[in-house]
Amino acid sequence: MLGVVEAPKSAVALYAEARRLVDCGRDAEASLKLDAALAARPDFAEAFSLGGYILERGGSRDAALRFYQRAVGLKRHLAVAWFNMAKLLTRETRFVEALAALESGLEFAPGDADALNTRSAVLRALWRLEESASAARAALKRRPNFPEAAVNLGTALLKSGEPGPALEAYTRAAKLRRGYGDAICGQALALRALNRLEDARAAFSRAEALGCREAVSGRGCLDLMLGDFERGWEGYEARWVDGKSIAQALGVRYPLWAGPQAPPSHVLVLNDHGLGDTIQFARYLALMTRAGAVPHFLCPAKMHRLIGPLVGGRIFEREPAEVKFDAQIAISSLPRAFRTRLDSVPGETPYLYAEPERVARWAQRVGGAGFRIGCVWQGNANPEADIARSFALRELAPLAAVPGVRLITLQKGFGEEQLWQNPPGFPIERLPPDFDAGAHAFLDAAAVMATLDLVVTCDTSVAHLAGALGRPVWLALKHDSEWRWLRGRDDSPWYPSMRLFRQRAAGEWGPVFAGMAQTLMASRISA
């Protein structure tokens, strides 16, 4: 009896089988089916799109992107390929490209709730917060039972300085999905911003019990802000770096340094946060040396000239192969290693120094006339940073009105556009284009600060630099300021030369600078 010969399957049938296999997690078998489908029909856009999804799930993001691009090249109106491409680009932090892909897909599927939610996240990453909130609301309008969109709405509102509406959005998300740790952690952050601190602590604890690691560090930061350093540093160890745990982000190559009680050892100190944190915690490098350790600091090359003297030049961009290390530690973990408490913060300054020849050069260029105030109004534009810490250049008007004051901008990069886009209506001097234009960060800023009478800044790395140099610095703080500035104080144990001026209500900078101007006038009269 002759066997029955099975007829060749069509490309559409092979594609349908591949989809079923993908749903079952059998990606390797699905890939074989897609290969056969594409062999039968090389212009099968949907097969390329599904192939991209399989490749991305397997970690081959570059190949996946090429498949998505091929899919939309064959069929421009294939919205799912645009949306998958956007999600991939978002994970790659290529947010401008991700937004373009989303816009292309939404042209053909304007009511896709998932795409609108992704758009909300991408717009937030581009710091287009009002649009981010609108996109999240649109997603919720199309799918009211969408807890992720409610969280995105809450996050956009919280970053916009609207903690009350943010709390409502996070609460909605928590009701939509029981045990949603991210939503409860968001509630905690909003409650903290509303100064409901005990409620915030309880929410952080609930989120932590659900496995939300961010809640552990959030509660730690709350403890630190309230001066409970013993509990705070433990929670702070759960902080994230680029979406990863400290161990994941920095790698575990050597045992953790046990602190000043450890035997003398060569220690690899790893940079784990931004420039401000690096400057704040760099003081511990000298303390390590005094304790008998030999610290070698791994950080971006642009910080080497400024920080290098603290470690005797043992500062590197890549781990030196010639050194045998006994231990490692993240620089932001050093306060915990030294068991720092509120009453034992190592606040001796200066511990950083401007280069004398630069000071002399900038002293001539700045001149000695008037009461010279260096100003910085905007910090890091990274959306993961808190742009609510920044203020508009025009807010400095009350200081400019004080007789004899010269405002001199120390702003570099982000925020400089305000000097010509939004003229402040008062004189502010600009330093020459070569100011801090070299490969090394802050060398000119440090030298200029040495020639000034005062630095006025938002909460950014310049504030830490001025404090580490021991220069007089007034720091303008938002209402819900970072843990390091504690609560309800106008001084900082980290920087004795610093004075804190706090918002009384979220977003209201006017009273902050009116208070600065009154303080400045009173001090000048008494002098």
Condensed to tens digits (0 to 9), the pLDDT of residues 128-149 reads: 999 999 999 999 999 999 999 9
Strands 244-245 and 405-409: unpaired
- Amino acid (1-letter code) at residue 273: H
What dihedral angle (degrees, nearest 10) is formed by the CA atoms of 446, 447, 450, 454?
Answer: -60
How many contiguous H segments (helices) and E segments (strands) does the chain have?
25, 12
* CA dist 151 → 165, 183, 185, 280, 448 (Å): 12, 6, 10, 32, 44
Q: What whole-number distance in Å separates Cα of residue 404 and Cα of residue 146?
A: 58
User: What does 355-381 look like in DSSP terms, one character per residue?
Assistant: -HHHHHHHHHHH-S-SEEEEEE-----
Q: What is the pLDDT along the chain (527 residues), one digit of tens a residue?
A: 333 333 346 889 999 988 999 899 998 998 999 999 999 899 999 999 999 999 999 999 999 999 999 999 999 999 999 999 999 999 999 999 999 999 999 999 999 999 999 999 999 999 899 999 999 999 999 999 999 999 999 999 998 889 999 999 999 999 999 999 999 999 999 999 999 999 999 999 999 999 998 899 999 999 999 999 999 999 999 887 666 677 777 888 999 999 999 999 999 999 998 899 999 999 999 999 999 999 999 999 999 999 999 999 999 999 999 999 999 999 999 999 999 999 999 999 999 999 999 999 999 999 999 999 999 999 876 655 567 889 999 999 999 999 999 999 999 988 888 888 767 889 999 999 999 998 999 999 999 999 999 999 999 999 999 999 999 999 999 988 999 999 999 999 999 999 999 999 888 999 999 999 999 998 876 65
Which of 415, 414, 492, 497 has its CA nearest to residue 454?
497
Spell 482-491 as b/e; 16+ CB within 10 A means b.
ebbbbeeeee
Predicted TM-score (pTM) of the model is: 0.86
Q: What whole-number distance in Å separates Cα of residue 211 and Cα of residue 209?
A: 5
Q: What whole-number distance in Å separates Cα of residue 368 and Cα of residue 370?
A: 7
Condensed to tens digits (0 to 9), the pLDDT of residues 33-64 reads: 999 999 989 999 999 999 999 999 999 999 99
How big is the CA angle at 384 (ends 337 and 515), to the nearest 5 degrees? 85
Which of 408, 411, 441 has its CA nearest to residue 279?
441
How big is the CA angle at 266 (ends 265 and 270), to the nearest 5 degrees? 125
